[in-house]
């Protein structure tokens, strides 16, 4: 299979080959496709992880917060963060 590198990427590809990061255009394209495959895998994994939560929201099982409540919620999490991190380190 022959793939034509789009003109907007040709200089970049030549640059990484010139630095010795890759030996050929095929190596660059192969790495790019590997990264794309990994990205697609991760997106699908995230979709599977959030699907149950979206289902709960669709059933009305979520909790609504106004801006002030949400700000207070995050402030509480931030305040707990350092103490939880210290506890985690002590338990290791």
Please tell me the total count of domains within the chain: 2
DSSP character at residue 44: H
Are 16 and 57 contained in the same domain?
A: yes
Give the torsion through C-alpha atoms of 29, 35, 40, 46, to 10 deg.
-170
Q: In this predicted structure, what is the pLDDT of residue 48?
A: 95
Q: Which residue reads 């990427």 in tokens? A: 9
- Its pTM surpasses 0.85: no
Structure confidence by residue, pLDDT tens digits, 52-69: 999 999 999 988 889 999
Are 30 and 3 contained in the same domain?
A: yes
Range of the domain at 77: 65-92
pLDDT tops 80 at residue 23: yes
Could you give the residue ranges of the DSSP H alpha helices within the chain?
7-18, 25-58, 67-91
Are 7 and 38 contained in the same domain?
A: yes
Instruction: Report the pLDDT averaged over residues 27-56.
Output: 96
Token pair, residue 27, equals: 């190596």
Are 36 and 69 contained in the same domain?
A: no
Are 35 and 6 contained in the same domain?
A: yes
pLDDT tops 90 at residue 12: yes
Beta-carbon contacts of residue 73 (< 8 Å; ≥ 6 apart): 65
Instruction: Report the pLDDT averaged over residues 66-90.
Output: 82
């Amino acid at each position: 299979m022959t793939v034509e590198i789009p003109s907007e990427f040709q200089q970049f590809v030549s640059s990484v080959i010139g630095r010795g990061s890759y030996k050929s255009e095929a190596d660059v394209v192969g790495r790019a496709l590997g990264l794309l495959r990994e990205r697609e895998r991760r997106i699908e994994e995230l979709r599977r992880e959030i699907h149950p939560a979206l289902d709960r929201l669709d059933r009305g099982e979520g909790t609504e917060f106004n801006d002030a409540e949400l700000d207070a919620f995050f402030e509480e999490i931030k305040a707990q963060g350092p103490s939880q991190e210290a506890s985690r380190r002590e338990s290791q």
